[in-house]
Homo-oligomer: A and B are copies of this chain.
Amino acid sequence: MLLDNSRSMQTTLTYFPGFKWRPYLKMAKVADTENPLYLKLGGILKEVIVAYETYGHISENGDNVILLHHALTGDSHPAAHNQHDEKGWWEPLVGSGCPLDTDKYFIICANVLGGCQGTTGPASPNLENGLAYGMDFPEITLLDMVQVQKRLLDLLGIKHVKLIIGGSMGGMQSLEWAVTYPDFMDGVMAIAAPGYSSSQSIAYNKVARQAITLDPGWQGGNYYGGNGPEKGLAIARSVGMITYQSELSMEGKFGRKRRNGCFEIENYLDHQGNSLARRFDANSYLYLLRVLDYYNLSDSCKSYEDALAQITGKVMVVGVSSDILYPPYQQEELVEAMRDCGVDAEYALLESPHGHDGFLIDFHLLRPLINEFIKKLTIGKVTKN
């Protein structure tokens, strides 16, 4: 059910005070008591609202849809809708004349399940008692996120998409889509995303989660109405920020420079940590990190190979040369495994000094890769028909 997108209505959907209402935000209810969402790990959600934004217009035969996924702390707002609107996280890539060309394509970007920017998550009211779920929110996985998005597309009457694309957690969602609904897309482009999470990435996530739950402000997750675990979340974010950059890019930016008695890198991490603590719900962070830990493409199939063999569309996997969180060898391995399974997969390396965050910085390098891949999808399409 498509919902009214008035501001008053939306703010009743979350107890998270950092929820940012946006004028172009759209809302849809994709699960209710009649049609609950059954989750991979056994939980049930009797109400799921999805917050999403769309750009451009759908063509008459519906062949111009692109599904774009955000990363861990992103949202449904990759780009401004007009010159007065706030800039988005992929601004240079989404718009008129951009690779994700809003003159040509109908682009959909939804906040993920478990998120805190409009889509149902731990800060949403639990129908059982009207209070925020907190840690009563059921455990979720990337497969559940994909289910929610599929329901949204069904609701919008979309039967097929041209491209599914995203970076980091958004890349993982794109790959899960390709395994789960292989016939639903022409192609998938996953940037800085492996086929499963490594133990090192799980280790970083564990440390981040522990910092949040150690904060007395966390109160077992029942902090809504109060300040919440701001310090713990800031530490968690700092862990993330270290892994999103390369050692060399950090050294180049900060080195041993000092200000106000601290090293500049410390001031930077404080700033980043405190910024996130204002705009992101700590419980969402806990749940989404666990989603990353659980991520393994083989989860929906008998084996990793069996999962990859499901894929029928074209795949482009992009690694970032200096990525320390999901090092490029992981993406290379994924592409090799896909090819062994007969998938039409290609690998590209983004030669970037910026580490994992390269996919949010090196737009000039991403632009030709996306353009080229979309071109291939279009040519492939014409040839086949």
How far apart are the CA atoms of A269 and B216 in the complex, in Å?
A: 22
Tell which of B203, B216, B247, B269 touches A206, judged by Cβ atoms closer than 8 Å.
B269
10 CB < 8 A contacts A-B:
A196-B256, A197-B256, A199-B250, A199-B263, A202-B265, A207-B269, A211-B235, A247-B327, A263-B293, A324-B324
- A79 interfacial by beta-carbon distance below 8 Å: no
Tell which of B202, B242, B255 touches A266, judged by Cβ atoms closer than 8 Å.
B202
Contact (Cβ within 8 A) A206 B238? yes
Interface of chain A, helix or strand or loop or mixed?
Answer: helix
Contact (Cβ within 8 A) A231 B203? no
What residue in chain B is nearest A229 (Cβ atoms)? Answer: B214
Instruction: Give the oligomeric copy count.
Output: 2
How far apart are the CA atoms of A197 and B247 in the complex, in Å?
A: 12
**A193-216 at interface with B (beta carbon < 8 Å):** 196-200, 202-204, 206-207, 210-211, 214-216
- A134 interfacial by beta-carbon distance below 8 Å: no
Given known contacts A203-B265, A242-B204, A232 and B214 CB-to-CB distance under 8 angstroms: yes
Please indicate the chain B residues that have their CB under 8 angstroms from the CB of A253 in the complex.
199
How far apart are the CA atoms of A200 and B265 in the complex, in Å?
A: 8
CB proximity of A38 to chain B, nearest CB, Å: 21
Contact (Cβ within 8 A) B203 A238? yes
**A245-259 at interface with B (beta carbon < 8 Å):** 245, 247, 250-251, 253-256
Given known contacts A206-B269, A214-B215, A265-B206, A199 and B256 CB-to-CB distance under 8 angstroms: yes
Contact (Cβ within 8 A) B206 A266? yes
Number of contacting residues on A, CB 8 A? 40
What residue in chain B is nearest A231 (Cβ atoms)? Answer: B214
- A296 interfacial by beta-carbon distance below 8 Å: yes
Contact (Cβ within 8 A) A251 B198? yes
- A343 interfacial by beta-carbon distance below 8 Å: no
Contact (Cβ within 8 A) A242 B210? no
Contact (Cβ within 8 A) A242 B200? yes
Contact (Cβ within 8 A) B203 A269? yes
Contact (Cβ within 8 A) A238 B216? no
What residue in chain B is nearest A264 (Cβ atoms)? Answer: B199
Tell which of B196, B197, B216, B265 touches A216, judged by Cβ atoms closer than 8 Å.
B216
How far apart are the CA atoms of A348 and B329 in the complex, in Å?
A: 26
- A158 interfacial by beta-carbon distance below 8 Å: no
CB proximity of A275 to chain B, nearest CB, Å: 16
How far apart are the CA atoms of A91 and B277 in the complex, in Å?
A: 46
CB proximity of A264 to chain B, nearest CB, Å: 8
What residue in chain B is nearest A254 (Cβ atoms)? Answer: B199
Please indicate the chain B residues that have their CB under 8 angstroms from the CB of A245 in the complex.
200
Please indicate the chain B residues that have their CB under 8 angstroms from the CB of A216 in the complex.
216
- A239 interfacial by beta-carbon distance below 8 Å: yes
How far apart are the CA atoms of A238 and B251 in the complex, in Å?
A: 23
Contact (Cβ within 8 A) A235 B207? yes
Contacts beyond the supplied A199-B255, A200-B242, A202-B265: 17 A-B pairs with Cβ under 8 Å: A198-B250, A198-B255, A199-B250, A199-B253, A199-B254, A200-B245, A200-B251, A202-B263, A203-B238, A206-B263, A206-B266, A207-B235, A210-B231, A211-B235, A214-B214, A263-B293, A324-B324
Please indicate the chain B residues that have their CB under 8 angstroms from the CB of A231 in the complex.
210, 214
How far apart are the CA atoms of A269 and B11 in the complex, in Å?
A: 40
How far apart are the CA atoms of A250 and B197 in the complex, in Å?
A: 12
